[in-house]
Amino acid sequence: MKLLVTGGAGYIGGTVAGLLVDRGHQAVVFDNLSHGRQDLLPQGVEFILGELADRSHLERIFTEAKEQGSPFDGVLHFAALIEAGESMVKPEIYFRNNTASTLSLFEAMLSSGPRKLVFSSTAAVYGEPEVVPIPEDARLQPTNTYGESKLLVEHMLRWMNQIHGLRYASLRYFNVAGAPESADGGITRGEAHEPESHLIPLILDVALGRRQSIRIYGDDYPTPDGTCIRDYIHVSDLADAHLLALDALESSSRLIFNLGNGKGFSVKEVIESARRVTGHPIPAELHPRRPGDPAFLVAGSEKAIKELGWKPRYTQLDDILRTAWAWHQQRYNK
């Protein structure tokens, strides 16, 4: 297959692009490098510098590929702004970049591209859950505008499917972590957000001496130790699910799956795990809650396991942290 990978210069899109190439597919990354890194692109991946909002550029890419006799078979759409906290300060850039610009991609696909898409959705579409682990048919009520910007795309997709026959899989990732290991155990890429806002790399910064301490955003949530609980899923397990979803779109036209481990860990438990893995004491400081954070997000992923045949391999938080730590040390040459 030949696939356009929007946002493929980023953490997850780059990992999936690498897996596509490993499995003999052709991956063309389309990214504006606002948060991505061209130097971290996996080998064998083609790169196009481009802006998602630029519909005519996307149309040209699709049309030229057809004219050259090698049309795209589908699109994997990762390009987005991803920080829930920032989205509560600057909602407009989230609706512009994640929602409005995605409509440009849909328009380009409808006019000259493939009609098959895998969309990076998020656990943030659920908001504060009523049922845990969260099933796919749970109430959708985001508590931050990042989640809302993605939910609006899911709504658009439902209509694009119904009216234009655009086939899609919406994959609702929970908290993605860790670094991909090659068959010989080597690690060549991982999380490199700039600026970094995610809990695990920030904790590892403390272990490397790049930060003094980790901030804990709130310990007065209704959870056993008062800190927020999240479901951490390894990026390679997540990548596998994308290939399975592409296969499943051969026989289904509309798919929605949660992708998580089904186990929740509090902020304090993640810090404990990092202390075990790194051997560093990792001092922590208590700070007020971060606006928009739900207390508890844990996935029910049985649907993906049953219907896609998905088998997550990294089920232990320490194993996920171990790969993240190996990458983090390598990234900063320690």
Ligand X SMILES: O=c1ccn([C@@H]2O[C@H](COP(=O)(O)OP(=O)(O)O[C@H]3O[C@H](CO)[C@@H](O)[C@H](O)[C@H]3O)[C@@H](O)[C@H]2O)c(=O)[nH]1
Pick what 217 binds: ligand NAD, ligand X, none; C-beta below 5 to 8 Å, kind-dependent: ligand X
Upper half-sphere CA count for residue 29 (Cβ side, 13 Å):
32
Q: What is the 3-state secondary structure (H, E, C) of 216-266?
A: EECCCCCCCCCCCEECEEEHHHHHHHHHHHHHHCCCCCEEEEEECCCCCEE
Q: Which two tokens stand for residue 297?
A: 């997000």
105 binds ligand X (CB under 6 A): no
Least spacing, CB of residue 267 vs ligand X, in Å: 4
267 binds ligand X (CB under 6 A): yes
For ligand NAD, the closer of residues 175 and 261 by Cβ is 175
78 binds ligand NAD (CB under 6 A): yes
Q: Which two tokens stand for residue 257?
A: 């799956």
d(CA 321, CA 234): 9
Active site residues: 146
For ligand X, the closer of residues 207 and 228 by Cβ is 228
d(CA 154, CA 142): 13
The CA-atom distances, in angstroms, between 222 and each of 120, 148, 266, 286, 288 are: 29, 23, 11, 16, 15
Residues 93-152 within binding reach of ligand NAD (CB under 6 A): 97, 101, 120, 122
Say what angle helices 235-248 and 11-22 make with each other, to 10 degrees.
Answer: 60
Place of tokens 């003094």: 212
Residues 172-201 within binding reach of ligand NAD (CB under 6 A): 173, 175-176, 193
For ligand NAD, the closer of residues 259 and 283 by Cβ is 259
Peptide bond preceding 135: is omega within 30 degrees of 0, i.e. cis?
A: no
Pick what 215 binds: ligand X, ligand NAD, none; C-beta below 5 to 8 Å, kind-dependent: ligand X
Is residue 93 within 8 A of residue 81, CB to CB? The reply is: yes
57 binds ligand NAD (CB under 6 A): no
Contact characters 106-135, ligand X, x per CB under 6 A: ----------------xxx-----------
d(CA 194, CA 64): 33
d(CA 333, CA 208): 10
d(CA 109, CA 76): 12
Least spacing, CB of residue 203 vs ligand X, in Å: 8
For ligand X, the closer of residues 187 and 298 by Cβ is 298
Exactly one of 36, 113, 114, 147 binds ligand NAD (CB under 6 A); that residue is 36
Residue numbers of the site for ligand NAD (CB under 6 A)?
7, 9-13, 31-36, 51-53, 78-80, 82, 97, 101, 120, 122, 173, 175-176, 193
Residue numbers of the site for ligand X (CB under 6 A)?
82, 84, 122-124, 174-175, 197-199, 202, 214-217, 228, 230, 267, 290, 293, 297
